[in-house]
Amino acid sequence: MSPDEELKSDGTIITQIDETAATEPKRAYILFLSGPLVGKLHLLEEGDTVIGRGTEATIAINDNRISRRHVQIRLQGETALIEDMGSTNGTFVNGHRVQQQKLCDGDKIQVSSSTIFKFALQDKTENIFHKELYRMAIVDPVTNVYNKRYFLERLKEEFSLARRGKQPLALVMIDIDHFKLVNDTHGHLAGDLVLQQVAALLKEMVRQEDLLARYGGEEFAVLLRGTSEDKAMTLAERMRATTAAAPFRFEQQNISVTISLGIAAMEPDRDYTDPTQFIKAADECLYYSKEHGRNRATSTRTKDI
């Protein structure tokens, strides 16, 4: 019996709740999701915490894309206020540039194309640490969709299940057109915001049982359970049209964004021996789309016509 339990004469156990633990105040943390300090968990102290490249910063980061005194977080009790300190490249909270803003539990802060951290308000350190370490292992920090490693693991499983059960399985490979030009013209932070917005658009169009992942720099992959090539092509065309029509803006400037797509599917007349061959088939269709004008979707069937 634990110290918090009391045994009555009739054998009933009464559990006493520790009021001190129940009313324990929440603590504020930042967890680095990417960049030189990836995986580091920092407890914020009452008052000001300065984050930057300079040695005088409270948290110094060896990242030449951030300013010496880039951003400040002011903590008062459970209230945290973030303020950009006149940085060169700006401070972004959940994809939006801010000068000053109150932080909420779960907010994601980006100060360069490589350094991203998350604000958390928790009563126990281990809660956020273990949960976020697992999340960091499977989720891409920039786009907030699954990463390539997790995608490849799931692809092996889904490929085997589809082959054994003779069920359709479709794969869509997606690449953002002229992405290097976006980075060169508007900067890497603008490129990251384009990645985030494209990922958000794609996420809205896939089902809960589907798997969307960032496959490479500007490339995404979507795995569609129980989906024929024709249905995958219909979805791919909707993704293409929606992206082309969506407004993309950075620092009051419009950015034109389109995507190219390649589709392959496991069907009775399209059998693949392993996941690598399956990916290669979708990739070849993607390259066909890129070589034939971009902003288009190509399936294995349409490519062969």
* Residue 60, strand partner residues: 52
Please, where are the H alpha helices in the chain? 19-22, 125-138, 148-165, 179-186, 188-205, 229-245, 275-291, 300-304
Cβ–Cβ < 8 Å for 52, 69: yes
The residues that bridge with 97 in the sheet, in sequence order, are 92
- The amino acid at 96: H
Q: What is the C-alpha separation between 211 and 153, in angstroms, rounded?
A: 11
Choice among 218, 219, 229, 267 that is catalytic: 218
- Is 218 a known active-site residue? yes
Torsion of CA 233, 239, 242, 245, to 10 degrees: -90
> Which tokens belong to 149?
């490693």
Q: Which of 25, 62, 63 is nearest to 44 (CA)?
A: 25
Please identify every residue annotated as catalytic: 218
